[in-house]
Amino acid sequence: MNTHFKILISTLSLCTLLQAASSQDLHFSQYFNNPLVTNPANTGFIPDADYRLGASYRNQYSNIMAQPYKTFSIFGDAQVFRNKLETGWMGLGGVILRDQAGSGSLTSTKAYASIAYHQELGYSSLLTAGFNIGWANKRIDPSKLTFPDQFDGKFFDGSLPTSVVLARNNINYFDMQVGINYAYFPTQDIYINVGYSIQHVNTPKESFFEDPVGNIVPMRHIVFMDGLFRASDKVIVNPNIYYTNQAGASEFELGMNAAYNLTEHGEKQIVAGLYYRYADAVIPMIGIEVNNVRFTFSYDVTLSSLSKFNYGMGANEFNLLKKGFYNEYQGDRHQSLCPVF
């Protein structure tokens, strides 16, 4: 084992603890398939259906870590009061997140209830505002951690004494997010959506250490733009741009996927796309949709210096998304707000 690889393993083993200290959030490459995680204003923001249910799973660094990073999400949201509000509606939903990171078994569990209001602006645009509130728990197993002062020259030995002392291994806090969205759909062939959200607006305290000042979860800013364009009766393209910043750490991702219609009314589709996360990874995606149930798979191919150790094998990500209508007549809808087959 060379020196650089030992340093890498040490860093990955310790980053679970550092993650708690610096409070960096989890992320999905398929952010557009995790709408409530991206922006609470997305709650009920469903241009081609009345409700949706989704689940995601992400596995990262499985070839270089005994305990790879594993992230799960489950969400559901729906449009309500479409009969009661003449030019708008409400959105209600919820999301559960669970993340397990590294050899220290840093486990995060979060549950949020989400609400949004959607107001039509004329016949070709929509403005949305929303928020969610929830509970977050983080726990860690100190017995599985090793620290720099436990390095014996060859290995990290957890039986050696350490000066690092944790005050607690289990923390809970209240959390809140807010966001806005704007959609523009001048024709049945064009749909553009721009959103901005702020997560952790209440800056909750989060620390495993005894700190008189207290570490806080810094606010996270997310900006994104999505589009849907009907290129032909058989093809709809979906370009995406995403940027987030938290405590000086940023992520920028852009790319596009396209759906190809295999049947007359889009009951069966194949999906393929390609994305790029700046200075980090290229992300191919493939999927299939049958009767409004879409399954997609993406893989992060590492391009950064970490590729010397993981050989480009970054992360795999699975997403399952179900959309539907309240009845066979599509509720009170006269048409979809975005391009559909």
pLDDT at 17: 46
Task: Render 256-311 in DSSP notation, one character per residue.
Answer: EEEEEE-STTSSEEEEEEEEEETTTEEEEEEEEEETTEEEEEEEEEE-STTHHHHT
Phi, psi of 207 (to 5 degrees): -160, 140
- C-alpha–C-alpha distance, residues 30 and 285, integer Å: 9
> What are the residue boundaries of the structural domains of the chain, listed by start?
3-231
- C-alpha–C-alpha distance, residues 319 and 298, integer Å: 9
Paired strand residues for 227 = 192
- C-alpha–C-alpha distance, residues 182 and 28, integer Å: 22
Residue whose pair of structure tokens reads 């990171």 in the numeric block: 101
pLDDT at 335: 60
pLDDT at 157: 72
Query: Tens digit of pLDDT per residue, the chain (341 long)?
Result: 444 444 444 444 444 444 444 445 788 999 999 999 999 999 999 999 999 999 999 998 776 666 788 999 999 999 999 888 889 999 999 999 999 876 667 899 999 999 999 999 999 999 999 999 999 999 988 777 777 777 777 777 777 777 777 888 899 999 999 999 999 999 999 999 999 999 999 999 988 888 756 689 999 999 999 999 999 999 999 999 999 999 999 999 999 999 999 998 899 999 999 999 999 999 999 999 999 999 999 999 999 887 777 777 889 999 999 999 987 555 555 467 899 98
For residue 186, give the 3-state DSSP assignment: strand
Q: Which is nearest to 18 in space by CA: 226, 247, 275?
A: 247
For 26, which DSSP code? P
pLDDT at 226: 98
pLDDT at 19: 44
- C-alpha–C-alpha distance, residues 98 and 72, integer Å: 5
- pTM (two decimals): 0.88
pLDDT at 214: 66
Assess contact for 32 and 322: CB atoms under 8 A. Answer: no
